[in-house]
Structure 1
Amino acid sequence: MRHVHLPAPRVARSGPVSETVRRGLGDKARWYLPTALAADLVGAGLPVALVFDAAQQARPLYCALGAALAWTAVQAVRRRYAFRSLGESRGVLPVLHDWLILIGVLAVARIATGESTPRLAALGALLPALLITVACHKLTYRHLSAARREAQAVSRVLVVGEPGAVESVIDHLAARTDHPYVVVGVIPVGPGTPAGGVPEAARIAGALPAAPGEDADAVLGAVATHHADLVLVAPGAMMAGERLRRVAWALHDEGLELAVFPGLVEVSPKRLETLSAGGLAVLRVAPPVCRGIQPVLKSVLDRVGAGLGLLVLAPVFLGIVAAIRLGSTGPAFYRQERIGRDGVPFTMWKFRTMVVDADRLKTDLAGANENDGHMFKMRRDPRITKVGRLLRRTSLDELPQLVNVLTGDMSLVGPRPPLPEEVAKYDEVELRRLTVRPGMTGLWQISGRSDLSWDETIQLDLQYVDNWSFTSDVDVVARTFRAVVDGRGAY
């Protein structure tokens, strides 16, 4: 993959650091916790009180209080109120999981107390708790993401390791802002200096020191000087084994945290498992999901979703067809050869958004390509019709691909289906995106679409291929609706 110039690392705010920050918890806004507690208590308690009172239940206030306390207790046990967790996730599925646990807890309580409110009414009374908690999570997530783009609410990190490994860690952290780490210094091990402009906080010799405490003293001194919250080690031949163990001891004796970068990138934590073998800490990486019930559920979701979509959207199809035919001459549908799973070509269907001879004109516009990779993208492509521009802005031009999903050539969720001429230029890394069926939507579509660089697109596709799960597909589908309304990157 081509080299991409990465942005400079974020710079943390200078100044004294509180004990909370020194423990690596960051300086998140203090209103996160009370807001979350208030939203959960009110979201669970108030609807239950109103519904149970309307149903003439004997003790609506007691039931409301029980529901509110049960909902906060479930989330407390699941550590949703931990300072590290607040604002870190906008996903719906973790909240849904908690809510289902709440339903189970209250179902047991219902049997034990003999409560007689109709089941559907009781279930409906608990639904606002799910919705309000999700909304609260999204609110804090957006606030925290904005703060981190300004290098606030971050953990100050020292990176230790051989220069090449340190540079790799810095590049990955600098390329994104959806994490809490800001590198404030590096401690190279051995000769050489990592690029990237991050100050050298200390240096550790390549050879083992004569005195066992020299490495630890260098790291602890750098932590104190740079007010670091976390020491991140990129292990290598010169920083491993007993040497790493002694540095860890020194940091832990001072109440400081140590993290070890295993050299893996874009691997979901769900696939990781820590083991111990003969005293060695082993990180097990599970293979991507390709067998079992989850692929079956994905196939069912694809076929049922596509079938229902075609049935429900039939009137919309007729309206779009009429608009296209009235707006320009030519057929309403556009067929194009794309490359599917394992490199097998198929015919993809779309609503026509360009003039009839658009493919012939593409050669003349090659020099105006605004994408830095194999795709062709222009913000103001002259081949797009007036109706086509609206269809692309709303992603309605993609709806005929439901036929491809129904026939099994595509999936509802997956990488973008590439053109044959794009695949002809793929390298070994890029070809891996063809190991799954392409999708109508995916991480590319909900992360900026055409505004992304080619390397960012490939990174998202590989992240999907390696870390796919049925629940992640459901999450992508839910987030697609917001991306369609937002329209960012759709042109």
Structure 2
Amino acid sequence: MGKITNDKDYHILIEKRARAVSKRIVDVLVAVIGIIVTAPIMVLIAICIKLEDKGPVLFVQTRTGQNGELFSIYKFRSMRFCPRNKNQKKYGQGWDKGVPDSFIFKDGSVANPNVTKVGVIIRRTSLDELPQFFNVLLGDMSIVGPRPEIPEITAYYSKEQRTRLLVKPGITGWAQVNGRSLITNGEKMRMDHHYVLHQSLYLDICILMLTIKVVLTSKGAV
């Protein structure tokens, strides 16, 4: 961290810390309320997942968080249980200058045969993301921020692409209310970069309101 050389730097530092504290308070409050309100829904989803194929209720995966720190993200499992994923994708071929702008992590035009019946419903309604309220309480995630990517992809980020890692990843974000899973990596990067530069409580509230609209219409869901 650079030294504080004048009053302007001091006020900027205080403002950043105040913004971080207020964002954390809002995150905790929203996460607690979210867990309380959706608890019956989460219990019902867990029961349905267990009844369908007896596998684990939660899908736990390593993701890249703020400043490149790794953490475990929690989601309701939406795909058939497989102890070993033999068809795991390989990334990085030809990515010498960063993740290509044309790259799309999920292809919404292709139906995945491994998605369960319950999985189809919770994916389209984004209910599979509800366990991430606990990620917010743990401090790994925020309610609003860039969606966390897997390390196999972030390892190939260019210097510019790494700017999206300067803030905590979120359950929802600016990119998610502007296309969700259907946008390219280049579009996502531009939107996440915009959020990092202009993040504020007002922008977070706007994104939350737009998230409700997107979820209700299932726009961009896969």
Whether TM-score is above 0.5 comes out as yes
Could you state the TM-score of these two structures normalised by the residue count of structure 1? 0.39
Matched, 1:304 2:26: no
Name 1:390's counterpart in structure 2: 121
Q: Is the 8 A contact 1:358 1:383 kept in 2?
A: no
Question: Aligned-pair distance for 1:482?
Answer: 0.2
User: Mind listing any 5+ residue stretches in structure 1 that lack a counterpart?
Assistant: 1-286
Q: Take 2:187 and 2:115, find their aligned partners in 1: how far apart are those partners? A: 25
Matched, 1:375 2:100: no
Name 2:55's counterpart in structure 1: 330
Q: Which has the higher contact order (CA 8 A, sep 6+)?
A: 2
Residues 419 and 290 (structure 1 numbering): CA distance in 2 closer, same or farther, change over 3 Å? farther
Q: Give CA deviations for 1:215-268 in whole Å, capped at 9, x if unaligned.
A: xxxxxxxxxxxxxxxxxxxxxxxxxxxxxxxxxxxxxxxxxxxxxxxxxxxxxx
Partner SS for 2:176: coil
Matched, 1:423 2:154: yes
Question: Alignment partner for residue 318 of structure 1, among 35, 38, 43?
Answer: 43
Name 1:457's counterpart in structure 2: 188
Could you state the TM-score of these two structures normalised by the residue count of structure 2? 0.84
Q: Is the 8 A contact 1:413 1:439 kept in 2?
A: yes
Q: Take 1:355 and 1:341, find their aligned partners in 2: how far apart are those partners? A: 30
Q: Is the 8 A contact 1:288 1:468 kept in 2?
A: no
Q: Is the 8 A contact 1:288 1:467 kept in 2?
A: no
Partner SS for 2:137: helix
Question: Aligned-pair distance for 1:359?
Answer: 6.7
Name 1:346's counterpart in structure 2: 71
Counterpart AA for 1:331: P
* Larger CA Rg, structure 1 vs 2: 1
Q: Is the 8 A contact 2:104 2:183 kept in 1?
A: no
Q: How many residues align?
A: 201
Partner SS for 1:446: helix
Q: Take 2:122 and 2:90, find their aligned partners in 1: how far apart are those partners? A: 22
Name 1:442's counterpart in structure 2: 173
Residues 291 and 364 (structure 1 numbering): CA distance in 2 closer, same or farther, change over 3 Å? closer
Q: Is the 8 A contact 2:107 2:182 kept in 1?
A: no
Q: Is the 8 A contact 1:351 1:400 kept in 2?
A: yes
Residues 487 and 374 (structure 1 numbering): CA distance in 2 closer, same or farther, change over 3 Å? closer
Name 2:5's counterpart in structure 1: none
Matched, 1:360 2:112: no
Q: Take 2:86 and 2:147, find their aligned partners in 1: how far apart are those partners? A: 23
Counterpart AA for 1:372: S
User: Mind listing any 5+ residue stretches in structure 2 that lack a counterpart?
Assistant: 1-11, 92-100
Name 1:472's counterpart in structure 2: 203
Counterpart AA for 2:55: G
C-alpha RMSD over aligned residues: 2.3
Q: Is the 8 A contact 2:50 2:57 kept in 1?
A: yes
- Structure 1 moving runs of 4+ over 6 Å: 287-290
TM alignment of 1:134-213, pairs within 5 A: none
Partner SS for 2:175: coil
Residues 354 and 290 (structure 1 numbering): CA distance in 2 closer, same or farther, change over 3 Å? farther
Q: Is the 8 A contact 2:179 2:220 kept in 1?
A: yes
Q: Take 1:411 and 1:388, find their aligned partners in 2: how far apart are those partners? A: 24
